[in-house]
Amino acid sequence: MNRYKRAMLKLYYKFLGRFRPEKYKEKYPLFLRQIGINISENYYSTKHGFIAPSVVFDANDYSLISIGDVTTISSEVVFLTHDYSISKGLKMIDPNLSGRFLRPISVGANSFIGMRTILLPGTSIGDNVIVGAGSVVKGTFPDNVVIAGNPAKILCSTQEWAQRHIELSDYDKI
C-alpha cells in the first residue's frame, strides 16, 4: 500500500472514530494488520481494546510493531522504531559510513499506554502493564507492572496500584 493511500485511509479512520466509534474500534485493527502491524485478528473480539486515531506509527517497517489483545493505546502515543540520528552521527565521523538503527516494539496483552507516551526503538512491554501518560519508554519491562517517567521506570506492580485505588475508593463504580 503506497504512502498516499495509507494517509487517506488514516484520515478516513480518524473521521470514523469521531462519528462511528464502535465501527472504528472494529475496523481500525484490521487496517493496522493490512499495513503490516502485528495485531491479532481477535483484537476487537472482546470489545475492550482501543487504539486512538491519533496514535503515530512512525516506522519504516510496520512489521516491527506488535500489539497484544485487549490493549488500550491512548491519544497521541508515538511508536518510533528507528533512530536516524545514528546515521547522521556516523556521517559526521566519516562521510563514507552509513547505517540505520531499526528495532522492534512490542506491547503485551491487556496493557494500557497513557496519552502522549513515546515508545522508543527496542522497547518490549509485557502483559498487564500500565504506562503513565507522557512517559518516554525504552527497554524491556516485565508483566504486571506500572511504569512512568522520562525515562520510564517501574513504580509498582499493577496489583499494588489497583489495591491502592480500591483503598482510596477514588474511582467511579460502574
Q: Which amino acid is residue 89, in one-letter code?
A: G
Q: Is 44 contained in some domain?
A: yes
Q: Say what the pLDDT of residue 167 is.
A: 92
Instruction: Look at residue 73 in the predicted model and tell me its pLDDT.
Output: 97
Quick check: is 174 in a domain?
no
- What is the 8-class DSSP label of residue 51? E
pLDDT of residue 46: 64
pLDDT at 100: 80
- C-alpha 68/C-alpha 164 separation (Å) is 26
- Residues of the chain with pLDDT > 90, as a percent, come to 57
CATH number of the domain encompassing residue 11: 2.160.10.10
Does residue 43 lie in a domain region?
A: yes
Closest of 133, 162, 146, 119 to residue 75, by C-alpha? 133
Q: What is the chain's mean pLDDT, rounded?
A: 91
d(CA 96, CA 158): 49
Give the residues of the chain that fall short of pLDDT 70: 44-47
pTM of this prediction?
A: 0.89
Domain with 67 in it? 3-168
Q: What pLDDT was estimated at residue 147? A: 98
**How many independent structural domains does the chain possess?**
1
In a domain, 123, yes or no: yes
Task: Express each pLDDT in 55-71 by its tens digit.
Answer: 999 877 899 999 999 99
Distances (CA, A) of 155 to 112, 119, 146: 15, 17, 6
| Backbone torsion region of residue 169, taken as left when φ is above 0, otherwise alpha when ψ lies between -120 and 50, otherwise beta | left
